[in-house]
């Protein structure tokens, strides 16, 4: 319960801050020392076929909710940045049923100390998990579907603390290197959620602590007032060695079709040895209603 309240509190913190967002219904309330990029979106796609014989087709629909907030406060001594990314989406296909297409809770807070214009020491923390259960789908001998729960809220959950130095070339590019402590948390100790387990012990552990090095590189560029590209490369190396590396590269190209409609192309690559020995890939193309608060 406390973990759920923590996640909800983080979301409430960023949601409340959108009251200061400029360019939307809160225009004019953003303090001079604050910068904000806040976007909420709902995307829905529907295809329905009934006795359609002209060409092959399968009825389906997809919906996705996303909320991205990036807020930064600047003072002479330090900068404070908060990022919140939320996403939840499902796809229903006739004959297959409902499958989850997106599920993400990401909150990050960092304080940069303005030792110079470009090189700054910083400290921060990050929280990552998901909203709902994830399943592995298989069939029995009779062809009936078998759903096996493989993940849910706080299974796994990740909490990371970091302290290091960042290089800030300009508002569009930055790279950071830090000593980090990455904690993997599992809500229970069953075999299905053994993300924090140590294979060398008989007991199934619910908590794993990994000290190491972390790197974050971020880039964003606006080609015009309506076309924006963002990229974030994250990597974590456990002090046990390079074989213990985790990483994620996220890319997003957004095209504003109108004040309320946006076209997006995203491509993510992820690697986590605890989840899969191979790299994971995700590509999404969406058009939907977007509320850009700033």
Q: How confident is the model at residue 261 (pLDDT cuts 50, 70, 90)?
A: confident
* pLDDT digit string, tens, across residues 166-182: 999 998 999 999 999 99
* pLDDT digit string, tens, across residues 106-153: 999 999 999 998 999 999 999 999 999 999 888 888 888 899 888 999
- What per-residue confidence (pLDDT) applies to 54? 64
- What per-residue confidence (pLDDT) applies to 267? 93
CA angle (104 as vertex; 174, 129 as ends), nearest 5: 95
- Cβ(111)–Cβ(124) below 8 Å: yes
Q: How far apart are CA 140 and CA 249, in angstroms?
A: 36
- What per-residue confidence (pLDDT) applies to 15? 42
Domain count, the chain: 1
- What per-residue confidence (pLDDT) applies to 16? 39
Residue showing tokens 């974590």: 236
- Please report, for residues 109, 200, 222, the alpha-carbon distance to residue 9 in angstroms, rounded to integers and kept in the order given: 13, 37, 32
- What per-residue confidence (pLDDT) applies to 181? 96
Residue 191 DSSP symbol: G
List, as one string, the DSSP characters of 5-44. HHHHHHHHHHHHHGGG-SSSTTTT-S-TTEEEEEEEEEEE
Contact residues for 119 (Cβ-Cβ < 8 A; gap 6+): 165, 166, 167, 168
Residue 141 DSSP symbol: T
Give me the phi and psi of 14, to 5 degrees please: -75, -40
- What per-residue confidence (pLDDT) applies to 1? 43
- What per-residue confidence (pLDDT) applies to 153? 92
Give me the phi and psi of 249, to 5 degrees please: -120, 115
- Please report, for residues 108, 120, 179, the alpha-carbon distance to residue 164 in angstroms, rounded to integers and kept in the order given: 15, 9, 6
Q: How confident is the model at residue 24 (pLDDT cuts 50, 70, 90)?
A: low
- What per-residue confidence (pLDDT) applies to 191? 56
- What per-residue confidence (pLDDT) applies to 53? 65
Q: In which domain, by residue range, is 271 found?
A: 2-292
- Cβ(121)–Cβ(115) below 8 Å: yes
List, as one string, the DSSP characters of 49-118. -SS--SS----EEEEEEEEEEEEEEE-SSEEEEEEEEEEEEEEEETTTEEEEEEEEEEEEEEEEE-SSSS
* pLDDT digit string, tens, across residues 192-248: 567 887 777 778 788 889 999 999 999 999 999 889 999 999 999 988 765 678 999
Q: How confident is the model at residue 55 (pLDDT cuts 50, 70, 90)?
A: low
- What per-residue confidence (pLDDT) applies to 142? 84
- What per-residue confidence (pLDDT) applies to 26? 59
Q: Above 80 in pLDDT, residue 85?
A: yes
Q: How far apart are CA 100 and CA 134, in angstroms?
A: 7
| More confident of the two residues 208 and 56 | 208
| Summary mean pLDDT of the chain | 84
Q: Specify the CATH number for the domain of residue 203.
A: 2.40.230
**Which is it for the CA torsion 179, 128, 235, 41, positive or negative?**
negative
Low-confidence winner among 40-49, 140-149, 270-279 (lowest mean pLDDT): 270-279
Tokens read off for 115: 């030792």
- What per-residue confidence (pLDDT) applies to 132? 94
Q: Above 70 in pLDDT, residue 7?
A: no
- Cβ(152)–Cβ(132) below 8 Å: yes
Cα 67 to chain center, whole Å? 10
- What per-residue confidence (pLDDT) applies to 78? 96
Percent of the chain with pLDDT over 90: 47
């Amino acid at each position: 319960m406390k973990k759920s309240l923590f996640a909800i509190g983080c979301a409430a913190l960023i949601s409340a801050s959108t009251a200061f967002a400029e360019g939307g219904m809160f225009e004019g309330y953003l303090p001079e020392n604050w910068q904000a990029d806040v976007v909420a979106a709902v995307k829905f796609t529907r295809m329905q076929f009934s006795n359609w014989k002209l060409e092959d087709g399968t009825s389906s629909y997809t919906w996705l909710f996303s909320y991205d907030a990036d807020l930064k406060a600047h003072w002479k001594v330090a900068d404070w940045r908060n990022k919140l990314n939320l996403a939840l989406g499902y796809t229903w296909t006739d004959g297959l049923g409902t499958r989850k297409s997106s599920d993400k809770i990401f909150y990050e807070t960092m304080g940069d100390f303005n030792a110079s214009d470009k090189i700054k020491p910083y400290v921060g923390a990050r929280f990552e998990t998901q909203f709902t259960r994830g399943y592995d789908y298989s069939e029995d001998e009779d062809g009936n579907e078998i759903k096996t729960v493989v993940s849910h809220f706080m299974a796994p959950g990740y909490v990371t603390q970091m302290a290091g130095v960042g290089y800030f070339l300009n508002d569009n590019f930055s790279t950071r290197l830090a000593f980090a402590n990455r904690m993997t948390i599992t809500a229970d100790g069953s075999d299905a959620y053994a993300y924090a387990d140590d294979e060398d012990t008989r007991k199934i552990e619910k908590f794993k602590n990994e000290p190491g090095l972390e790197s974050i590189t971020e880039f964003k560029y606006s080609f015009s007032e309506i076309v924006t590209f963002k990229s974030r490369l994250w990597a974590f190396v456990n002090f046990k060695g390079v074989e213990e590396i985790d990483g994620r590269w996220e890319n997003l190209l957004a095209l504003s079709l109108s004040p309320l409609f946006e076209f997006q192309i995203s491509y993510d690559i992820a690697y986590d040895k605890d989840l899969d020995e191979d790299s994971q890939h995700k590509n999404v193309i969406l058009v939907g209603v977007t509320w850009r608060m700033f």
